Chain A
Amino acid sequence: MGDFLAQLAPDLALLAPELVLLGGICLLLLVELGLGRRRPGLVWALALGVVLADGLALALQVGQSAHVVLTGTLRVAPATTYLKLLAAGAALLWLWAAPESKLLKTRGVGAGEAWVLSLGLLWGVQLLVQAQNLVLVYLALELVSICSYVLVAYSRAPGPSAEAATKYLLYGGFTSALMLYGFSLLFGLSGSLQLLPEVYAAAPALQLGVATGLALAGAFFKLAAAPLHFWAPDVYSGAPTWVVGLLATLPKIGAMGLLYHLAVGLAPGLGATWPLLLTGVILLSWSLGNLLALQQTHFLRLLAYSSVSQAGFLLLGPALNTPTGWAAAFFYTGVYVVLQLGAVAAASYYERCSGTLVFEQWRGLGRSGWGWALALGITLVGLVGLPPTAGFTGKLTLLLPLWSAYTTTGAGLYLVLLVGAVVFTVVGLAYYLKPLRALAQGGGEGRTDAFVPKLALVVALTAGVTLALGLLFFDTCVAWLTQVMP
């Protein structure tokens, strides 16, 4: 027993961020119980403090080499620390702006629940990105899911929010079942729960392929990759806007981490089946997401369908499954998170001004407050993938290894992906510009009289980062990621 504890001590040191977060959540629950009614601001500040402490603990881990902890179930590596930092940063920024939500203001009592659930979501994501044990993967994924379900239904009123939560729950449950079935097959094939290549060395390819396809369902669902994207439009448009900011970012980071561990464990045994599997999903996501996004008039539905298409881009790196490919994918994940935060923040600002997220009714709003429109413009141009934004450099970094993979292996698959990536970038332009055009047009009655400092900070920060990474600095980020990928 003493030996075991002695072994555990260094592991716990590596898990400091998660422990900080866990302690914070418990503390928050208690404080909310006592002070939630009288001092909601204090509870919010405490939640921010917890995320900040988590972020600091993570920052201390930057530069450490990879370790396997807790009897091999978790892998703490520079790449996972990067993803966790990304998640903590997104959560911090978003919790900072969340009190601007009308819903949270009117709700008053019980707003603390929102912070507890958000931190739970973050905790789940942090576990997910480092889990290399099937049971732990499942637990972390379910933690993310359950927090998400409750957050979507946060308004408690019957209506779109409840409908979205129900759909999310049903689709989520279905996907979990698929994934668990895959996991049980994987266990049957290997007799082990670990996601390591040597475990699956002797597994027959066909069975391994089927099991992997099923196991990937969980990641595809979180990424909103087709054909597991059906929840996205309803959840994006039905959930409270501030919740969308969390759902559009944190679970995606978790899914990328999960994909990484699945790739490490399963891809070597699959050979050419792995890229083939992902290519199918990528092409389906691109075509469905883009086609459906073209018709949307609701900003968040547009963002939801466009995120289906973006899932295709996020999956390019995993499809390549090379160190460079993963570095590019993780860089693009960061860019994507920044862009999504900016887009949702700007949208919630315009929702406040006009009372709607149907962007045709935002007409003229861009004329009175051009700063907001400019920031949204930079974000949307980034989502299209045009220079001089991080969206362009992110896509460029994805395409470079894709081309190299095509020329070195000669597999037409990569050429298809390359051509698809550039063609669907053009399609994206057709819908991403629509909200901007509405904002630039005259004829609306809406006025942007309100200045919302909290949202303004998020919008300015994301737009600034988008531009900064679009012209400079991105080579440093990618170089660092390439260097730390094993």
Chain B
Amino acid sequence: MVGLLSWLWLLPLAGALAVVLLPSRWAYLSRWATLVLTLVQLLLVVGWVLPAVGTGTLLGPTPATPMPVAFYETTPWLRLNLGSLGTLAADYALGVDGANGLLLLLHALLMPIAVGASWQEGRRPRTYFALLQLLNATVVGCFLAFDFLLFYLFFEVMLLPMFFLIGGWGGERRAYAALKFFLYTLLGSVAMLVVVVGLPFAQAGVHSTTYQALADPALRAPGAFYATPYGQQVGFVLLLIGFAIKLPAVPLHTWLPDAHVEASTPISVLLAGVLLKAGGYGLVRVAYGFFPAAGQALGFWMALVGVVGIVYGSLVALAQTDFKRLVAYSSVGHMGYVLLGAASGTALGLSGALYQLFAHGLVTAALFLLVGVVYDRVHSRQISAFGGLWQRLPRYTAVVALAFFAGLALPGTASFVAELLVLMGAFGATTDVPLWLAALALAGVVLAAVYFLWAFQRMFLGPWRVAGGADWEARLTDLSPREHLLLWPLVGLILLFGLWPALGLGPITAWVAAFFEASQTLLAP
């Protein structure tokens, strides 16, 4: 039976259908309908799901899992009888726990913000908002899924609305960027597909695809490919390819700058704020969840990829002349911390990685919105085209300053907590992450400060100077009420979760502790 949790993704799906079916003279209603539905979704998450995650109360049937789950619902979905090969059993299993609770909040928060940022979208609004809702439904499904096949389904369907949103409502080279995004991420998905078709068959008897069954080493038949250390490392690397492309990790990141530059502001917000996080979430939940021992064994390589991402992303961000590309590359850099934290093999590092997903989602959403503010007004994002903006746009400058400080992980912001935890984890790594890698990651923090502060200096400080002359001067007005409404909740949450980290870290650390306990059987030498 469809339980209450299902409504979190069925509601947007219904919204997509409703918007498409609106008659053309009521097309303007599509944005209102979408806004209302996303706000209802946010309300459901904040008022009903999150309190349960915070207290760890279990609502719904008890899942057969050792992990603390706040919500869980399951119903048999597919029973694929393959004769002598046995039966592949996929369940429609959804759940919320410490690992995905905050991400659900992040997504539910960014959806109405993206709708607000799309308020002026005049090009085919019905299709646009329908696709936005479809994206919404698939992202929620992806975060909620507690079954690998179900997760895979949502993870891949997510690409379709995103492809059309970039390709249909983007900039000049949108077709190229959209296809590049789709091809790259699909390549990652099919690497994952190899594990989808293989891993369930490592179990003797019924081949279940639920997280719980796939993660349980006791269920794997001795001698099965994925029961061997080598097989586990292969599986881990295949999953890693899928999630590293999505994250993105250097050197699989090249689709990201193109996609961001061509995508419109709200789409960038969702892409960087939520979709990349699905990659990081999958890395923790699926790759580490199924093959913790392999993750442990490959700790050095994971950390290396992460640190290369941090340093390379930051260096390239330093060299950007386009404000949006700078933010895009800063995303690449910051996602490196997720890999590093997970690679450390410590509870601190893993908690930091999960917290970084949440914190960076807030920060990067704010940053992309802020890029959109100047781009909407003068259709230029060149850093060199602006100077001394603080003189005429003080409120804008204030929000940018806060977001930049959050970007460079200043104490008091959520990203500081996340990156601190990751670095603490890296320095105390239980895996073979060497100290010099952790130290390099620390240098990445300094680099982030350099590019953010340098960009701030060039664009906002000094004498007033804009490239477009009087025309631009007239158009460069300070934040509108709508923009205030979109930005301040993000800034507020960045500060709230920075000053009161226990609020978000509580469920995460509880989950991480349980995760390490559950995977101890595998981690034991």
**Which residues of chain A have a CB within 8 Å of any CB of chain B?**
322-324, 327, 367, 370, 381, 386-388, 392, 396-397, 399-404, 407, 418-419, 422-423, 425-426, 429-430, 433, 437, 440-441, 472, 474-475, 478-479, 482-483, 485
B196-242: which residues lie under 8 A (CB-CB) from chain A? Answer: 196-198, 201, 224-225
Known: A422-B191, A429-B182. A475 touches B83 (CB 8 A): no
- Identify the interface centre among A407, A423, A441: most chain B CB within 10 Å of its CB: A407
Separation of A387 and B151 alpha carbons in the complex (Å): 11
In the bound complex, do residue A440 and residue B164 qualify as a contact, i.e. CB atoms below 8 Å apart?
yes
How far apart are the CA atoms of A431 and B451 in the complex, in Å?
40
B179 cross-chain contacts in A, Cβ below 8 A: 430, 433, 437
Pick from B84, B124, B201: contact of A403, CB below 8 A: B201
- Closest Cβ of chain A to B214, distance in Å, is 15
Q: Do A426 and B82 touch (CB < 8 A)? A: no
Q: Could you list 17 A-B pairs, sorted by A, with CB under 8 Å?
A: A324-B83, A327-B82, A387-B153, A387-B157, A388-B153, A388-B157, A396-B196, A401-B82, A401-B85, A404-B201, A419-B194, A422-B191, A429-B182, A429-B183, A433-B179, A440-B168, A441-B175
- Cross-interface CB contact of B201 among A381, A407, A425, A440, cutoff 8 Å: A407
Which residues 149-172 in B have Cβ within 8 Å of A in the complex? 152-153, 156-157, 159-160, 163-164, 167-168
Instruction: Select the residue from B79, B83, B179, B187 with max chain A CB neighbours within 10 A.
Output: B83
Highest count of chain A CB atoms <10 Å: which of B20, B85, B167, B196: B85
Question: With A and B bound together, what is the CA distance between A429 and B160 in angstroms?
Answer: 11
Q: Report which residue of A381, A425, A433, A472 has the largest number of chain B beta carbons within 10 angstroms of its beta carbon.
A: A433
Q: How far apart sit A75 and B42, CA to CA, in the bound complex (Å)?
A: 61
Residues of A near B183 (CB, < 8 A) are: 426, 429-430
- Pairwise interchain contact B224-A407, C-beta atoms closer than 8 A: yes
Q: What is the bound-complex CA distance between A68 and B92, given in angstroms?
A: 43
CB of B78 within 8 A of chain A? yes
- With contact pairs A400-B88, A401-B82, A429-B183 given, residues A370 and B152 touching in the complex (Cβ less than 8 Å): no
Which of chain A's residues have a CB closer than 8 A to the CB of B152?
387
Contact A387 B156 (CB under 8 A): yes
Are A479 and B84 in touch, CB under 8 angstroms? no
Give the contacting residue for B190; candidates A322, A423, A474; CB below 8 A.
A423
Residues of B within 8 A of A397 (CB): 80
Q: List the B side residues contacting A370 at CB < 8 Å.
A: 20, 127
Known: A399-B193, A407-B198, A433-B182. A327 touches B156 (CB 8 A): no
B440 to nearest A CB, angstroms? 33
Tell me which of A386, A396, A402, A437 contacts B157 (CB under 8 A). A386
Closest to A366 in B: B127
Which residues of A have CB within 8 Å of B164?
A: 440
Assembly CA distance A324 to B198 (angstroms): 15
Name the distance in Å between A447's Cβ and chain B's nearest Cβ: 15
Cα of A437 to Cα of B178 in the assembled complex, Å: 10
In the assembled complex, the CB of A151 is this many whole angstroms from the nearest CB of chain B, namely 36
Interface on chain B toward A: helix, strand, loop, or mixed SS? helix
Residues of A within 8 Å of B77, CB to CB, are: 472
Q: Which residue on A lies nearest to B196, using beta carbons?
A: A396
Tell me the complex Cα distance, A472–B76, Å. Answer: 11
Closest to B124 in A: A367
Q: How far is the CB of A475 from chain B (nearest CB, A)?
A: 4
**Considering the complex, which residues of chain B in the window 74-97 have a beta carbon less than 8 Å from any beta carbon of chain A?**
77-85, 88
Determine if A437 and B167 form an interchain contact, defined as CB atoms under 8 angstroms apart.
Answer: yes
Taken together as a complex, chains A and B put the C-alpha atoms of A401 and B187 apart, in Å, by 22
Q: With A426-B183, A433-B179 in contact, is A386–B156 under 8 Å at CB?
A: yes
In chain A, what residue has the closest Cβ to B202? Answer: A407
Q: Is the CB of A327 within 8 A of B186?
A: no
Q: Say which residue of A323, A400, A426, A440 sits within 8 Å of B167 (CB atoms).
A: A440
Q: How far is the CA of A437 from the CA of B170 in the complex (A)?
A: 13
What are the residues of chain A within 8 A of B163 when measuring CB–CB?
A: 433
A396 to B84, CA, bound (A): 17
Contacts of A407 in B (CB 8 A): 198, 201, 224-225
Are B83 and A482 in contact, with the CB atoms below 8 A?
Answer: yes
A327 in contact with B83 given A387-B153, A400-B88, A419-B194 (CB within 8 Å): yes
Question: B479 to chain A: closest CB distance in Å?
Answer: 32
Q: Which of A324, A429, A437, A472 contacts B82 (CB 8 A)?
A: A324
Q: How far, in angstroms, from A425 to B124 measured CA to CA in the complex?
A: 31
Are B81 and A478 closer than 8 Å at their CB atoms? Answer: yes
Which chain B residues in 427-471 approach chain A with CB under 8 Å? none
Chain A residues near B198 (CB-CB < 8 A): 403, 407
What's the Cα separation between A396 and B175 when bound, in Å?
Answer: 29
**Beta-carbon contact of A479 and B157 below 8 Å:** no
The 6 closest A-B pairs by CB, nearest first: A422-B190, A479-B81, A399-B197, A475-B80, A482-B83, A475-B78
Sample of 14 more A-B contacts, CB < 8 Å, known A400-B82, A474-B80: A323-B83, A324-B84, A386-B160, A387-B156, A387-B157, A388-B153, A392-B156, A401-B82, A423-B187, A426-B187, A429-B183, A433-B182, A479-B81, A483-B83
A437 to B153, CA, bound (A): 23
Contact pattern, B 106-149, Cβ under 8 Å of A = 1, otherwise 0: 00000000000000000010010000000000000000000000
Which residue of the partner chain B has the closest CB to A367? B124
Bound form: Cα–Cα A367–B196 in Å: 37
Are A478's CB and B153's CB within 8 A? no
Closest to A371 in B: B20
Minimum CB–CB distance from B504 to chain A (whole Å) comes to 32
Within the complex, the shortest CB–CB distance from B296 to chain A, in Å, comes to 24
Give the distance in Å from the alpha carbon of A323 to the alpha carbon of B82 in the complex: 9
Given contacts A324-B82, A479-B81, contact A418 B194 (CB under 8 A): yes
A190 to B254, CA, bound (A): 60
- Write the nearest CB–CB distance from B186 to chain A, whole angstroms: 5
Report chain A residues within 8 Å CB of B127: 370
- Least Cβ–Cβ distance between A440 and chain B, in angstroms: 6
B79 / chain A contacts, CB cutoff of 8 Å = 475, 479
Q: Are A426 and B186 in contact (CB under 8 A)?
A: yes
Expressed in whole angstroms, the minimum distance between the Cβ of B145 and any Cβ of chain A is 12
Bound CA span A401–B85, Å: 8
Measured between C-beta atoms, what is the minimum distance from A421 to chain B in Å?
9
Most chain B CB within 10 A, of A324, A401, A475, A478, is at A475
Q: Are B85 and A404 in contact (CB under 8 A)?
A: yes
Q: Contacts A386-B157, A387-B153, A426-B186 known; A403 to B197 CB distance under 8 Å?
A: yes
- A378-B157 Cα distance, complex, nearest whole Å: 12
Closest chain B CB from A290 CB (angstroms): 13
Of all chain B residues, the one with the shortest Cβ separation from A405 is: B85
Contact of B80 among A323, A381, A478 (CB under 8 A): A478
- For B79, the closest partner residue in chain A by CB is A475
